[in-house]
Amino acid sequence: AAAFERRVLRRAAEHHYLRVRLELPDGGARPNAAQFKQLVVTALRELHGEVGAALPVDVLTYEEKSLSAILRVISSGLVKLWSALTLLGFYQNRRCAFRVLQTSPFLLALSGNSRELVL
């Protein structure tokens, strides 16, 4: 019989990681890495002002082909970043939407996704 063991982290993680995808329905010009980072900062500024724009967010990886990225944010700013990305609706006067695909305090957890597993 397998025993259930509960593990609780004593100290919260310093950073959280998010796998996000930018959806542009009309298929126009795609942002490069610098423009993508600026779009994230703009989303924070629009919702949370200059204090939100000062939140340290790093773009660890960015794939221009799929418009997906892995972002790193300090754990205390996770909710601010997530809400700002969710509520952003325009990029260069075109409709857009950010989709948060995965989030974790561990970068390794974003390396695989069981929902995309092909057998």
Instruction: Write the CB contacts of 118 (distance below 8 Å, at least 6 apart in sequence).
Output: none
Q: With contact defined as beta carbons under 8 Å apart, do 88 and 96 qualify?
A: yes
Q: With contact defined as beta carbons under 8 Å apart, do 102 and 113 qualify?
A: yes
113 in a domain, yes or no?
A: no
pLDDT at residue 9 is higher than 90: no
CATH of the domain at 30: 3.30.70.3250
| 20-46 residue pLDDT tens | 999 998 767 889 999 999 999 999 999
Confidence label for 18 from pLDDT (cuts 50, 70 and 90): very high
pLDDT for the residue numbered 28: 72
- Provide the number of structural domains found in the chain: 1
* Amino acid occupying residue 115: R
Tokens of 70: 């892995």
Instruction: Scan for tokens 């609706």, then name that residue.
Output: 89
Longest dimension (CA), the chain: 59
- In which domain, by residue range, is 79 found? 15-106
| 60-90 residue pLDDT tens | 999 999 999 999 999 999 999 999 999 999 9
